[in-house]
Structure 1
Amino acid sequence: MKIDSFFATRNSRMKASEIRELLKLLDQPDVISFAGGIPDPALFPAEKFRDAMAVALSDGQHALSLQYSTSEGYPPLRQWIAERMTQLGVPCGADNILITSGSQQALDYLGKLFLSPGDTALVGWPTYLGALGAFNAYEPRFDRLDPMGNRSADELRAEAEAAGGRVKFSYLSPDFANPTGITLSLEERQKVLAQAEALDCVVIEDAAYQSLRYEGEDIPPILALELAEKGDLDQCRTIYCGSFSKTLSPGLRIGWVCAARPVIDQMVLLKQAGDLHTATLNQMAVAHVAADGFEEHTQRLCAHYKARRDRMLAALTRHMPDGVDWTHPEGGMFVWMTLPAGMDGADLLATALRDEKVAFVPGGAFYPDDDGRNTLRLNFSSPDQVQIDEGIARLGRVITEALA
């Protein structure tokens, strides 16, 4: 018997994450890694979490923190998030918030909620690898999301229908996107909304990095723009996905969705069928820490990560040969590099690991069609400034030799 012969056909679309595999390199002390999109653990508010866990496990609270709970999430945390969303221009109540086990679970549930086999998902080219993995299980067709709206709604609709489905949503990360670090302008956000209205599809706004701005002016979330126009959150087609993974702790796996009540109500049913509820102890700890100085903590993060971003950009200027370009992100965790045509990021990674002990993520993993072979993603939040200087010097040598 071959047990894999019983697997559902959708499993053929699921692939191992190149990033998760590369994270194993972090255990090798001689490798300088720009691969993982991970926060610096030295910046975790560990003492505050120790205090929060002690409170949650105290005699007065342990019956709540260690017990089954509601699928919607811990009410004080949902209320804090609703107040945070109000500050971002999305006035709402706790009933518009669902707590998820990381924003990755939210993406999985949204794929399950909206995608039937053959439906079209509009995504960036490139886009977040985790979103492609989450959506792939529901057998969609991917098409290119153009924030400037150069492709007409009629064209996109016709191609989706020819493929046997319809355009169900546009997925994007408008602030300091993973993997490119690019931020959409106000005009681009408005055009994404206008295109979604013309297509009558949903917008999934992945805001994982929204709090990590190092320069420039804040731009309202897409959901805030739509709500200002329509005046009623329950009439909005934008679904906002937030996360504490890049600010407080990725290991506690706390994310959230802010959306119209009909979306939240349906996602609660998916949550009940999936894992009943996100760990109550973790929710209580995050609620305690978030209420105790979230803004001050993120300001500290921004100061540290800005210095590392600046260090990386300066090192790239010093060490990269002609013909190599890179983005200059206003925030987030990533720089996106474009190599001369004909170079292959995967081949370059093998050489870089062998000869210089430096790691990054080849860009092809972020494209639905495995395009962009001459691109790569660099993370600056995890390595320190000395590692950034040395690692970029090593990478510059590898690229220079490959071009020789």
Structure 2
Amino acid sequence: MNWHDIFATRMSRMKASEIRELLKLLDQPDIISFAGGIPDPALFPVKAFQAALADALSPVNSSSALQYSVSEGYGPLRDWIVGQMATLGVPCSRDNVLITSGSQQALDYLGKLMLSPGDTALVNWPTYMGALGAFNAYEPNYDRLSPGGNRSAEDYAQTAAEHGGRVKFAYASVDFANPTGETLDLRQRENILDLADEMDIAVIEDSAYQSLRYDGEPIPPMLALEIARKGSIEECRTLYCGSFSKTLAPGLRVGWVCGAASVISQLVLMKQAADLHSSTINQMAINTVARALFEDHTAKLRQTYASRRDAMLAALQEHMPEGVNWTRPEGGMFIWVTLPKHMDGGALLRSSLETQRVAFVPGQAFFADRSGANTLRLSFSLADDAKIAEGMKRLGQAIRAAG
């Protein structure tokens, strides 16, 4: 049987994640990897989760923990998120929160909710490749989001119409973005909200790294800025996607969407159709651990990751040849490197693995149009200072050899 003849046309847009493939390299002990943007497992609050899971499986709680549950998510966890959103300037209620299987599922649902084939999504250039993967299934076009306000609403609308659809939303990773590590400043956030109001489109705010700020002053989420403008979350077009994957434990796959109840109710229908609800026992464990130690634990993460970021910035300064540039993030897990224009990150990876045994992610995968060949992403979250120093030394040697 020729399966490809019966696959939906959307499958032509779905490609294997280059990061997922690179994660297989972590099993090779001689590889120094800056590829996977994943938390350091040595920092997981293991004992807290052991106690939380034991409590969930106690005689009092086990019948709930192991049973079907409501699609909206575990009530006490949604209440904790409501409190957390309030600290960010987002007053809301349970009805404004849906628990998802990581924020990745939230992106998939939002793409499914809003994109028809031929519609346009506005994204950063580069942007999170997982967002492109989620949206690709719904066969959109992409256009370059300009947070600086350099393009008019009319220009965006005309370009979308020429491609057979309309602009449906602007997607942005706002704090310490994956892959660049860059943060949208207050004016850029306001510009996106202005554009969304003018075009009558949604805003998807990806805030997976919001809790991992090491330097500088916090900037309000776009949802908070919009509520300040309009008075109520129910009047807002911004949908905030949060996650426990970078703060507590990615393996439990717990994230959330916060937005107007009218949108959340539609996402609940998708949740019911897709998987009924996220794992109840995982939500219960996350709720217990978050209530017990979220602030103290994220403070520990910030201290550790900030030190590793500083070590990588210092090593880049010491070992990179002339013509190589990089970002200087105030938080998150990533540094974005721009190579001389004639160089190719994919080719550099192949040679680096062969000669230097250093891994990273070539930048091209983060561009909707597959441009940016002369870029790469480095993650500092997993490596200690010694590995960072040695890895940047080897990477510098690989770049010089390729130049």
Provide the TM-score with structure 2 as the length reference. 1.00
Tell me, yes or no, if structure 1 residue 110 matches structure 2 residue 110.
yes
Tell me, yes or no, if structure 1 residue 16 matches structure 2 residue 51.
no
Cα distance in 2 between the residues matched to 1:162 and 1:214: 43
Match for residue 312 of structure 2? 312
Match for residue 288 of structure 1? 288
Compute the displacement of 1:334 (Å). Answer: 0.1
Match for residue 74 of structure 1? 74
Match for residue 146 of structure 2? 146
1:226-262 Cα offsets, whole Å, 9 max, x none, are 0011001111000000000000000000000000001
Give 3-state SS (helix, strand or coil) of 2:376's partner: strand
Match for residue 219 of structure 1? 219
Match for residue 175 of structure 1? 175
Cα distance in 2 between the residues matched to 1:382 and 1:207: 21
Match for residue 345 of structure 1? 345
Match for residue 32 of structure 2? 32
Aligned positions of 1:5-404 closer than 5 A: 5-403=5-403
Cα distance in 1 between the residues matched to 2:63 and 2:181: 43
Compute the displacement of 1:401 (Å). Answer: 1.5
Superposition misfits of 4+ residues, deviation over 4 angstroms: none
Across the two proteins, how many residue pairs are aligned to each other?
Answer: 403
Compute the displacement of 1:270 (Å). Answer: 0.1
The aligned amino acid for 2:393 is A
**Farther off after superposition, 155-164 or 66-75:** 155-164
Compute the displacement of 1:155 (Å). Answer: 0.6
The aligned amino acid for 1:211 is S
Cα distance in 1 between the residues matched to 2:70 and 2:276: 8
Cα distance in 1 between the residues matched to 2:345 and 2:157: 34
Cα distance in 2 between the residues matched to 1:292 and 1:19: 33
Give 3-state SS (helix, strand or coil) of 1:352's partner: helix
Cα distance in 2 between the residues matched to 1:290 and 1:255: 13
Cα distance in 2 between the residues matched to 1:15 and 1:314: 35
Cα distance in 2 between the residues matched to 1:89 and 1:301: 23
Q: Is there any run of 5+ residues in structure 1 with no aligned partner, and where?
A: none
CA RMSD of aligned residues (A): 0.5
1:143-189 Cα offsets, whole Å, 9 max, x none, are 00000110100010011111111100000011000000000110110
Give 3-state SS (helix, strand or coil) of 2:378's partner: strand
The aligned amino acid for 1:229 is R
Cα distance in 2 between the residues matched to 1:89 and 1:143: 30
Q: Is there any run of 5+ residues in structure 2 with no aligned partner, and where?
A: none
Give 3-state SS (helix, strand or coil) of 2:69's partner: coil
The aligned amino acid for 1:276 is L
The aligned amino acid for 2:227 is L
Cα distance in 2 between the residues matched to 1:400 and 1:116: 46
Provide the TM-score with structure 1 as the length reference. 0.99
The aligned amino acid for 2:149 is G
Cα distance in 2 between the residues matched to 1:51 and 1:94: 26
